[in-house]
A and B are shown apart, each in its own frame.
Chain A
Amino acid sequence: MTRLALVGLLLVALGALALDEAPRGAPTATPPVGAGAAQEHPEVPPPPFSEGIFPCSGCHADLKPNRTRRVLTEMHDDIQLRHDEQHRWCLDCHDATDRDWLHLASGERVPFEESYRLCGQCHGEKLRDWRAGVHGRRTGEWNGHKRYLLCAHCHNPHAPRFQALEPKPAPLPPTRPGS
């Protein structure tokens, strides 16, 4: 009798599982509204590296990583860090073991070509807007192939705030004839 009851219970449990339609394990993704055309990995031009700086492993393969938070003095001292520098420093974004990569908070490595995933950790709204084509300078085709840029193409990752620009000339005010 108890064996039958156990089998019955198992059958009921299996039936319940079968009726449950949500696939287990996969996260239920709710894409942002209107971003149906947004791409998971938009095609972007190469990252704007300084001349000759990449691949970083050219130097760093032979160097021992120094994880002490400090202001750099021996090399890369031309970089002015103005990006939450009270709480962050280089190795919070750059991977300590392989400088040809960046890393996320989870430790997952991302290539420089996908640096937007790193920026998007803190700037999630901007990332969503960027994927939809709403953040950033827009070129390409409005009904076809949109051209994307990396965050770093407009924002210097070490000092992202835009500098003031010289404006183009003001329009000429209208004047009466003869004046």
Chain B
Amino acid sequence: MKHLPVKNQTAGSCENGCSRRQFASIASAAAAGFLLTGCGPRRLREMPKQRLRQALDEMEREYAAKRGMAVKVADTPPLPDVLFGYALDLSRCIGCRRCVYACVEENNQSRDPQLHWIRVLQMEKEKGVDFRHANPYYDPPKVPEEGHFYVPVACQQCRNPPCVKTCPTGATWMEPDGIVVIDYDWCIGCRCCMAACPYGARHFNWAEPSIPTSELNPATHYLGNRPRPKGVVEKCTFCIQRVRKGRYPACVEVCPAGARKFGNLLDKDSEIRYIIENKRVLVLKQELNTLPKFFYFYGT
């Protein structure tokens, strides 16, 4: 394009076009600079500790305003030299579903629409572990039912997670202690991860989640059980708010049959390592090479 003639070179005394152009270029550079750098990283994963804590304090204020009660959002970091593992004893699970509801209460899952992180599948003893003939809707007066056994399934916390691979925005990742987490403020709700998960472990908030305030668990972690918004994906986080403080996940503690075991895979003296060494463990859908950290075994 042809440039407008410039009468003299001193700043401020250009023709109209010149100073307007100067201003426009400076303004756009400043805006670009601000947008590129001034706002800083938006993903919770990338925020420096100080900014993260500010963001979480903001969340706490929002929850308090919405719920009328104090909700703590912790940012407990992973413990060093820890890789969490889980083992479930298939010879002991009786399908009572107490783990399902303990999880719902501990992790603030929506009551309406109903959302469960754990799904207990009733299978037939004669067919063995066979997903084609699995039934999650069993409802007899008493369990266990004759001729059946039970396989609870939740997030397997894979070491080679297909969900993390497919997420287009990087809203889900594996933490150093092995827990696969979701940044609920970054997830766009595209549900690629749900299509990718071979275990049906991821769940979507199809509508606004609702939890009665009297049942809200106020001890939350920003990557775990803090109340989620509509339109994002959620899943089991091994009770990150508990395990990073040394406690067991809620499902482990509530199981009346003692079928659930948990520990640090890197600790040779842990229960989970004892099970791997002394019992025979297996994983679901092994041929998919997801390398779950959730093992199943037969205790007796």
Contact = CB atoms under 8 A, between A and B. Distances in A.
Q: Direct contact between A and B in the complex (CB less than 8 angstroms)?
A: yes
A135 B95 contact: no
A164 B94 contact: yes
A144 B137 CA distance: 38
Query: Main SS of chain A's interface residues?
Result: loop
A167 B143 contact: yes
B130 interface: no
A104 B202 CA distance: 51
Contacts of A35: 269, 274
Contacts of A36: 268-269
Contacts of B246: 141-144
Interface residues of B, number: 48
A171 B137 CA distance: 6
Interface footprint category on A: 20 to 34
B70 to A, nearest CB: 26
A170 B101 CA distance: 11
B98 A172 contact: no
Given A34-B274, A165-B96, A168-B101, A154 B258 contact: yes
A37 B273 CA distance: 12
A135 B248 CA distance: 15
A167 B258 CA distance: 16
A171 B257 CA distance: 21
Interface stretch (B46-54, B222-230, B259-267): B259-267
5 contacts: A32-B274, A141-B248, A142-B247, A166-B141, A167-B138
Given A129-B274, A170-B97, 15 more contacts: A32-B274, A36-B269, A37-B269, A134-B279, A134-B299, A135-B258, A138-B260, A139-B253, A142-B246, A142-B248, A143-B264, A167-B140, A168-B96, A168-B98, A170-B137
